[in-house]
Amino acid sequence: MIACEDLIALVRNYNPKTNVARLTEAYEFGFAMHDGQLRHSGEPYFSHPVAVAAILTEQHLDDATLITALLHDTIEDTKASYGEVAERFGEEVAMLVDGVTKLTNLQLSSRETKQAENFRKLFMAMSKDLRVILVKLADRLHNMRTIKAMRPDKQLQKARETMDIYAPLAGRMGMQWMREELEDLAFRVLNPEGRQSIIRRFITLQKETGDVIHRITGDMRTELEKAKIDAQVFGRAKKPYSIWRKMQQKEQGFSRLSDIYGFRIITGSEADCYAALGVIHQRWRAVPGRFKDYISQPKSNGYRSIHTTVSGRDGKRVEVQIRTQAMHDVAETGVAAHWSYRDGVRTQNPFAVDPARWISSLTEQFDGEDDHDEFLEAVKLEMYSDQVFCFTPKGDVVKLPRGATPIDFAYAIHTRIGSACVGAKIDGIRVPLWTRIKNGQSVEVITAEGQTPQVSWLEIATTGKARTAIRRALREVDRERFIKLGHELARSAFEHVGRKATDKVLDTAAKHLLLPDRNALLARLGSAELTGHDVVQAIYPDLARDDGDAISPRRAVIGLEPGQSFERGPCCQPLPGERIVGITFRGKGVVVHSIDCERLGEYEDQPNRWVDLHWHSGTHPAAYAVTLDLTIGNDSGVLGRICTLIGEKKANISNLEFVDRKPDFYRLKIDVELRDVEQLHSLMLAMEAESDVAAIDRMRDKTRFIAGSS
């Protein structure tokens, strides 16, 4: 474990004015609070917070962040309280420690909506003070460095979480060195054979070619000295995971990869950066399409550098990055450069980005995303993206992720322009909206009044901002459509019980169902979140129960054992009046199938599971859903007449879904609740006679089955 004096010495190297007394007090307090606690490796637990603080000293961070690192587990894992930390070390440190504690409690590796909601909380925590995530990243880095002491299943969980979330986040924040180390440590757990294979091939390559890095570094220094450019040159082989990712993306073997070496040139001025670029391009052949100027067009996290790829010795490609020392400091620490100290004072690095502005730009586009899964998708798209720079016709620069299209460009300018987009020109030539924009291209958006976003745009757009805006607009369009459909369904449902769906009735129903107004009620009815029966029952509960002495669905089937339950097979949706048979399932009772159901063939060799059943001969309620596949003409009023016809046949519509929309017809699936097979035949006969119905079939799908059945 690093001693207190050694930690303070690390801080004094860049901040001689550090508050030694406060750091010492934090060290001693953390040591006392964690006394007796051990890590999985058997080491004293406090060795971990000290190591986290030491990692943060490499980024020259301020005292408050270092004290937070020393105390980051005290509120969660010891008897220390928020109030005690605030009293001893100040409100700023207490809030940071509390923020790290909350991040630690987020289970970011859990699935689906929970993961998305935790991502949202993570971004909220970052927006309050970005130092919280800096401590958390250092915490994760040390945990990954010591991961071998954990159980194998925990190692896999932490490694996946690191690869999916923390490594990309570190990269997005500009801390590329940390991203690479986190990826490599996770890669070591997730694919140890793949990593060892890369390392073995590197060793073999070095034996065959000698020390390529030393030779090319020497050549570059010689050329720069000839041009009287004062610069430092560093070279290295890329990390195993970076090589592995290139192999997967390019579908190439190791021997065919060319740019596995990277070189960095640090100059004294911005002018020398461009002069050095000229020297490199004069001496070695530049690879077309591999030049990026992040000095004139910096990344949103403050990163500035010139990137180029050239053909070096023996035709091998090497990547070269050229930047000044100040740019390099930001490139190494990213957003953390805002809190960096040098010689006892806060560094005034002109390239350090304002953390508040950075996190605001990252999160503002997600604020309007109601759906958690869509929020998660948008976050991941933005975190993993690389950038291209393109221009408006006036010459303004627009930054977009690699693979962006004119739709993304239009929404990046303004949501109104994106929604009205009907076409685009790239470098003056009309192109399809799915065209991928390249670096340096000029893009012109063509708009038209009355245009609205199309569903197909979701497959074209790549940025979170564009996809969020498109989804929001489509929801509004869907809302209007659902309200119209809800009107028809409500009218049909109320006519079924001899009543009218007036505005007053619908307002009253909305109030009973705790909805804001009748439009909200109709939208839910049209989107199948409510059924017509639900709405009728809210106003006329007695009329909604109009089946009198009808047989309860719970006792509709005869032949079951006492206490045995049953479910209708979704594959065939059997109705009273049809011949049926049951298949037993552990924990599910009996699943009832019609005698001609195709799924029964799967159980031919299991006769002990078959049960002879038949329907009760009495009157059944209209409670058995059947799905109809319906194709109707695309004319006004057709859907309303169909809904009315279904109501006249004393059937209830429980769900309606559009499957296909064409200029001349609609194809839809309707779930209709029926009494028996006779009512089904009567309904289908009446609908076939309707001139606007092109086709109607009862849907039976053997791929639909009850979840968990086997």
* Active site residue ranges: 76-77
- Per residue, the 3-state secondary structure of 104-115, as one string, reads HCCCCCCCHHHH
- Measured at the CA of 703, the angle between CA 699 and CA 706, to 5 degrees, comes to 95
Distance CA 693, CA 645 (A): 12
Distance CA 508, CA 203 (A): 78
Residue with tokens 């969660």: 76
Distance CA 283, CA 75 (A): 58
Tell me which amino acid residue 194 is: G
Pair 537, 499: CB distance under 8 Å: no
- Long-range own/partner contacts, residues 121-124 (CB < 8 A, 24 or more apart): 123/359, 123/362, 123/363, 123/366, 123/379
Cα Rg, the chain, nearest whole Å: 33
Q: Among 3, 2, 131, 123, which residue's Cα sits nearest to residue 61?
A: 131
Pair 598, 566: CB distance under 8 Å: no
In total, the chain counts a number of residues equal to 710
Distance CA 467, CA 659 (A): 22
Question: Helix, strand or coil for residue 565?
Answer: coil
Distance CA 140, CA 135 (A): 9
Pair 34, 46: CB distance under 8 Å: yes
- Measured at the CA of 529, the angle between CA 512 and CA 587, to 5 degrees, comes to 110
